[in-house]
Structure 1
Amino acid sequence: MPTAALISVDDALTLSHTLTVPPKDNPAVPITPLEQWVEAYSDYLYRFAMSRLRNPEAAADCVQDTFLAGIKALDRFDGSRDIKFWLRGIMRNKIVDQIRKSVKENKVDIEAEDEALLESFWFKYSGIATTNPDPWQFNPRKYYDNSEFWVVFEKCIAQVKDPARQAFVLRVLEDQTTEEVCKVMDVTPNYLWVLLHRAREQLKVLLESNWTGKDAK
């Protein structure tokens, strides 16, 4: 991914000269200046953003916003963890912002098929379904250290249709609460449940076809 699209060279150089601040716990090790952040972490952060957003322009914006937010929060970085993962933590908030922006630009409407699904389940007033589809026991988190699985998983989740994919990303991958996801996507808890059901059904089929472990069943 071209780094020039993320932040201008002049801005990077100007800011970087003022950002060589040592971590509080290790004064001997300087924090990476901005141009080195761009060089070292742009590709990693871009791939992470793409795995969540599936939109090159939005992912590039997310990386730039992450770098700029990282600069503003630099005085709070204590050096206790790798700066790459510190930046990724910042990026998670930017991903939520990008999804919120996308939802506003592409209003989530309940399709006729989803209305039928809603009507097929009885919901309590609290928004919890009294009747549920067969549970899917597959948990992608147990493959956390399996890089081969995540390559397949990212390709599969990219094929799940929005807004179901967005709901799954926020609720499952980004571990947002139901209330938080409903607020970001401007949907009711009932319809969020439908979107998550749709995402899991699509993802189940894709993983069963593409993951050699075949334990997505």
Structure 2
Amino acid sequence: MTAHLSSTLATELESLRPALMRFALLQLRDQALAEDVVQDALIAVLEKPDSFSGQSSLRTYVTAIMKYKIIDALRAGKRMRQIATQDDQSDDDMIDALFTANGHTQEMPRSWGDPAASLQEQDFFKVLEICLEKLPAKTARIFMMREWLELETEEICKELDISTSNAWVILYRARLRLRECLDLNWFGNQPQPVK
């Protein structure tokens, strides 16, 4: 790889560092450990720059590498500190507002079009990240541990010292709130196909 391409890659990676740090901190809750994980992911890309084929965005590629670094850190027994949920409105109140008295949804969800195509768009991930940041910290963390890091529920419960039923309730609430946020801020703003 030429020095120019290497310099360009290093500059692009440096611009991704803040977003990578936010994500690593969400999962690890330890500044030093998050910095280590981000640094390890960036170094892995710089050591083997030819491994990046360009089939996805650089951010997606680096984030995928970092995913495994985070899993390694979690499995190595690093303890995460507990974060108290602080919301003006309880999860129960927010969820109740989505349904009528007879249990039906207030509004039918809008058509999400082609979700696979949306995943290819970088803007989608920016909106998803914002939606995740709106979740209570513990809820977002559990959701990402399960859905993105693909940890088993038992592993999450052991790491966070919560019951299985509590984990499932938190995951259910996270999915509802993310669906609502994405429906309002992403899928609802997409141009509708002409019929």
Bin of the TM-score, shorter chain as denominator length = 0.5 to 0.7
* Structure with more of its chain in helix, by fraction: 2
Match of 2:139 in 1: 164
Which of 22, 40, 43 pairs up with 1:50? 22
Which of 67, 70, 81 pairs up with 1:105? 81
In the alignment, structure 1 residue 149 sits paired with structure 2 residue 124: yes
> Could you say which structure has the greater relative contact order, defined with CA pairs below 8 angstroms and 6 or more residues apart?
2
SS state at 1:104 partner: coil
Contact 1:207 1:214 in 2 (8 A): no
Runs of at least 5 residues in structure 2 that lack an aligned partner in the other structure: 93-104, 191-195
Match of 1:213 in 2: 188
Once the two structures are superposed, residues 133-153 of structure 1 have per-residue CA deviations (whole angstroms, 9 ceiling, x without a partner) of: x9x997996321123322222
SS state at 2:188 partner: coil
Contact 1:108 1:185 in 2 (8 A): no
So what's the TM-score if we normalise by structure 1? 0.51
SS state at 2:137 partner: coil
Q: Is the deviation greater in 143-152 or in 83-92?
A: 83-92
- Offset of residue 183 of structure 1: 3.9
Once the two structures are superposed, residues 60-97 of structure 1 have per-residue CA deviations (whole angstroms, 9 ceiling, x without a partner) of: 453224345x38x95xx594444956643331133343
RMSD: 4.7
Name the % identity.
23
Runs of at least 5 residues in structure 1 that lack an aligned partner in the other structure: 1-28, 117-133
Match of 1:40 in 2: 12
CA gap 1:171/1:148 in 2 versus in 1, 3 angstroms? same
